[in-house]
């Protein structure tokens, strides 16, 4: 279809909005697009904003391809229809609704709550912004059948999103994800949406519930006596204008920490995120103000959470006293090592405990689990799969903790999504435990490398925009499958895992085993020297992601710099061999 045809089609769709049951402000925005901005008109109407396996995510504005009360409304009506079909025997269906600090998040949350109540559901609506994991906790606490949080996580300020959860408190997975998508697609008009809410069915959830949630988190503490000795350890925390602003400091104080420094400019709840280019704790710039504060007060630990407080970035001092940002694998290793060590010391390991990580997360977590004879499970990328394992093992085994390289972690079973409120408390406790032994977090990390192996990881995202880019990504994956490398960086490829075919091919033994996971467009190459290369197209952005993991022995801590350089060079060579640099 050429540009002229597309423009004709989007104008037709835009005019339907001018004629339909849309509010006057929306119609004014549509008229402005029609009269003054054809490019933006096309972007706003050329397709319907897709309800994907995780819900909605998109730029806010008027139009079928934008986040607004109408696209949110149609998604909620479709979800409501599906919930009713699945729980038709219940006398009352219950749902929970929460939102983050983004622009329009409260409006979208109230719209969602009204539609749910209009459909006859009991709705638990938080009185103001809350962390995404608290929504998961609420679903389980109130015995809800579903829930929604309005958030676009760490996306730029122009975005908002809509994440759907099921009755276990985890994000929607198969078969519900695809079935809900079908129900949403059946809603063809806003006239099918029950916008008129029943206020008698909406219960407002407030501060008392925060106390319940944080009290539950406090039960996860493993070293209260250590914190009593190290309670003045200096912590700098920033919510980056997001939902962690109240609850993270609250839970740190409940754990016993008394010296918590904030970054006042970033405590301001603001969906424009005025102090950062991107509110993403994976990015160094997002932690710059917190690190500056830490340098001023000589802090031991810096933590920053993203807008919906499900992920946390961490900075610690290296051996020269300079603050460095840990990657997600390093923080995960420190956290899992602490949890398993303390569970062992406290006599809580009974042989039925386990941890979970994603397939692209460091194998160091598996090594640590093996050391303590704790089972470990690998799942596809996405915390919903970790939640599903917890659901499967509930009552049979005990989940200690888990995580993913993209800065998301969880401990305990009462939340079923990554939880930065829990993570901040336990990361601070880990730092206090290290300090109580006269060590920094960085020194503790080096000791882990010395005991197990020095794992070094790198993520490379290659952006390929547009239709041609999507085709190029598809061709790259096809090429890796049809002509896989026999060696990478002069190390023989010993195993290839293809999660699309669901098979692992052992090159050395010429054998094939099945992968007991859902199908996914992911390839992994394992080499003789212990390297792991994972390749997958992004499900939400026009990019293909390469995850590089290499490892080597580190006999002494003094060898750190040398081994770090050698492993970094190995990653560079692998990237060169694969033609991605």
Task: Count CA atoms closer than 13 A to 192's CA, side-chain side.
Answer: 17
Give me 271's structure tokens: 């969906």
Q: Is 570 part of any domain?
A: yes
Determine the pLDDT at residue 539.
67
Within-domain flag for 401: yes
On whether both 337 and 241 belong to a single domain, the answer is: yes
Residue 139 CB neighbour total at 10 angstroms: 28
d(CA 378, CA 383): 11
CA dihedral for 325, 326, 328, 332, sign (positive or negative): negative
Domain holding 54, by residue range, is 47-205
Shared domain check, 263 and 313: yes
Average pLDDT over every residue of 435-453: 98
Q: Are residues 253 and 364 in the same domain?
A: yes
Do 162 and 273 belong to one domain? no
Q: Enter the tokens of residue 139.
A: 């679903």
Identify the weakest region by mean pLDDT among 159-163, 335-339, 372-376, 472-476. 472-476
The CA-atom distances, in angstroms, between 125 and each of 96, 108, 239, 321, 415 are: 6, 12, 22, 45, 18
| Interval 349-375 mean pLDDT | 98
Q: 551 near 363, Cβ under 8 Å? A: yes
231 and 189 belong to one structural domain = no
Q: Which residues pair with 108 in a beta bridge?
A: none
Domain CATH for 136? 3.40.120.10
In a domain, 428, yes or no: yes
CA 538 – CA 279 distance, rounded (Å): 20
Which of 233, 280, 232 is CA-nearest to residue 441?
Answer: 233
Check whether 54 has a pLDDT greater than 90. no
Determine contact, residues 335/409, Cβ cutoff 8 Å. yes
Convert the pLDDT of each residue in 378-389 to its tens digit.
999 999 999 999
CATH label of the domain that carries residue 525: 3.30.310
* DSSP designation for 438: T
pLDDT of residue 469: 81
Sign of the CA dihedral 50, 121, 99, 112?
A: positive
Helix (H) or strand (E) holding 525: strand 523-527
- What is the overall mean pLDDT for the chain? 96
Does residue 225 form part of some domain?
Answer: yes
**% of the chain with per-residue pLDDT over 70:** 99
The pLDDT assigned to 127 comes to: 98
Helix (H) or strand (E) holding 134: helix 132-142
Please check whether residue 124 lies inside any domain of the structure: yes
Q: What number is the average pLDDT over the span 209-221?
A: 98
Q: Would 235 be classed as within a structural domain? A: yes
CA-nearest of 114, 162, 165, 105 to 141 is: 165
Residue 1 pLDDT greater than 60, yes or no: no
- Please tell me the predicted confidence (pLDDT) of residue 53: 79
User: CA-CA distance, 95 to 37, in Å (whole number)?
Assistant: 40
Give the predicted TM-score (pTM) of the model. Answer: 0.96
Same domain, 392 and 521: no
Rounded Cα distance between 69 and 63, Å, is 10
The CA distance from 305 to 131, in Å, is: 10
Question: Of all residues in the chain, what percent carry a pLDDT higher than 90?
Answer: 93
E-state strands within 137-194: 146-150, 159-166
Phi, psi angle pair for 515, to nearest 5°: -100, 120
pLDDT tens for 369-380 read: 999 999 999 999
Q: Examine the domain organization and report whether 427 and 464 are in the same domain.
A: no
Give the model's pLDDT for residue 2: 60
**Which of 188, 205, 222 delimits the end of a domain?**
205
**For position 471, what pLDDT does the model report?**
86
Q: How far apart are CA 64 and CA 49, in angstroms?
A: 6
- Residues 218, 364, single domain; the answer is yes
pLDDT, residue 564, reads 97
Nearest to 15 by CA among 62, 59, 61, 72: 62
Give the per-residue pLDDT at 465. 78
- Is the residue at 24 inside a domain? no
Are 51 and 177 part of one and the same domain?
yes
The total of other beta-carbon atoms located within 10 Å of residue 136's CB is: 29
- C-alpha to C-alpha distance for 124 and 468, rounded to whole angstroms: 45
Out of 427, 451, 475, pick the residue that ends a domain.
Answer: 451
Q: Determine the length of the chain.
A: 581
Same domain, 423 and 338: yes
Q: Looking at residue 464, what is its pLDDT? A: 84
- Is 153 designated active site? yes
Assigned domain for 483 exists: yes
Strands of the sheet containing 408-411, edge to edge, are: 375-379, 353-358, 398-404, 408-411
Does 440 share its domain with 470? no
Residue partners of 462: CB distance under 8 A and separation at least 6: 543, 544, 545, 546, 580
Beta-ladder partners of 237: 262, 303
Q: Is the pLDDT of residue 423 over 60?
A: yes
Instruction: Decide: 504 and 513 in contact? Cβ < 8 Å.
Output: yes
Query: For residue 203, what are its two tokens?
Result: 């219960």
- Whether residues 352 and 329 share a domain: the answer is yes
| Number of domains within the chain | 3
Q: Give the pLDDT mean for 333-357.
A: 98
Choose one of 205, 229, 256: the last residue of a domain.
205
Catalytic residue (one of 101, 117, 146, 153): 153
Task: Average the pLDDT over 477-483 and give the result.
Answer: 95
Alpha-carbon torsion, ordered 380, 381, 386, 387, to 10 deg: -110
């Amino acid at each position: 279809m050429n540009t002229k045809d597309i423009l004709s089609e989007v104008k037709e769709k835009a005019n339907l909005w001018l004629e339909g049951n849309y509010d006057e402000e929306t119609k004014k925005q549509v008229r402005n697009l029609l009269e003054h901005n054809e490019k933006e008109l096309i972007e706003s109407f050329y397709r319907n904003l897709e309800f994907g396996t995780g819900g909605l995510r998109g730029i806010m504005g008027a139009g079928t391809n934008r986040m607004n009360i109408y696209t949110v409304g149609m998604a909620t009506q479709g979800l409501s229809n599906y919930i009713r079909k699945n729980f038709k025997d219940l006398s009352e269906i219950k749902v929970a609704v929460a939102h983050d600090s983004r622009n329009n998040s409260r409006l979208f949350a109230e719209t969602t709550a009204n539609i749910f109540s209009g459909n006859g559901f009991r709705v638990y609506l938080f009185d103001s912004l809350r962390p995404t994991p608290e929504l998961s906790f609420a679903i389980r606490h109130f015995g809800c059948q579903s829930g929604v949080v309005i958030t676009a996580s760490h996306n730029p300020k122009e975005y908002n999103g809509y994440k759907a959860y099921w009755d276990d408190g985890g994000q929607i997975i198969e078969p519900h994800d695809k079935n809900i998508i079908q129900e949403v697609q059946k809603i063809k008009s806003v006239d099918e949406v029950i916008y008129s809410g029943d206020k008698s069915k909406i219960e407002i959830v407030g501060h008392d519930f925060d106390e319940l949630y944080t009290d539950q988190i406090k039960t996860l503490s493993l070293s209260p006596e250590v914190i009593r000795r190290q309670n003045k350890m200096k912590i700098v925390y920033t919510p980056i204008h997001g939902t962690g602003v109240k609850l993270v400091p609250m839970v740190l104080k409940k754990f016993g920490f008394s010296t918590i420094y904030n970054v006042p400019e970033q405590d301001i709840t603001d969906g424009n995120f005025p102090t950062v280019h991107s509110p993403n704790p994976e990015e160094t710039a997002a932690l710059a103000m917190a690190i500056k504060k830490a340098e001023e007060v000589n802090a031991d630990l810096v933590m920053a959470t993203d807008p919906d407080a499900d992920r946390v970035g961490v900075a610690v001092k290296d051996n020269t006293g300079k603050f460095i940002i840990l990657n997600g694998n390093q923080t995960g290793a420190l956290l899992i090592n602490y949890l398993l060590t303390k569970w062992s010391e406290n006599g809580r390991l009974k042989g039925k405990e386990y941890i979970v990580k994603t397939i692209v997360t460091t194998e160091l977590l598996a090594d640590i689990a093996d050391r303590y004879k704790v089972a470990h499970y690998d799942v596809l990328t996405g915390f919903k799969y970790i939640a599903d394992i917890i659901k499967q093992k509930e009552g049979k085994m005990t989940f200690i903790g888990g995580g993913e390289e993209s800065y998301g972690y969880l401990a305990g079973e009462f939340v079923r999504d990554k939880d930065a409120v829990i993570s901040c408390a336990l990361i601070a406790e880990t730092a206090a435990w290290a300090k109580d032994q006269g060590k920094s977090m960085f020194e503790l990390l080096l000791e882990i490398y010395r005991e197990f192996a020095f794992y070094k990881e790198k993520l490379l995202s290659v952006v390929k925009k547009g239709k041609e880019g999507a085709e190029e990504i598809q061709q790259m994956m096809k090429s890796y499958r049809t002509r896989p490398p026999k060696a990478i960086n002069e190390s023989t490829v010993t195993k290839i895992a293809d999660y699309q075919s669901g098979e692992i091919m052992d090159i050395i033994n010429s054998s094939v085993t099945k992968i007991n996971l859902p199908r996914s467009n992911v390839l992994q190459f394992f080499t003789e020297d212990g390297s792991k290369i994972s390749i997958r197209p992004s499900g939400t952005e026009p990019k293909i992601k390469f995850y590089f993991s290499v490892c080597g022995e580190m006999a002494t801590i003094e060898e750190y710099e040398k081994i770090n350089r050698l492993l970094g060079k190995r990653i560079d060579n692998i990237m060169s061999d694969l033609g991605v640099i």
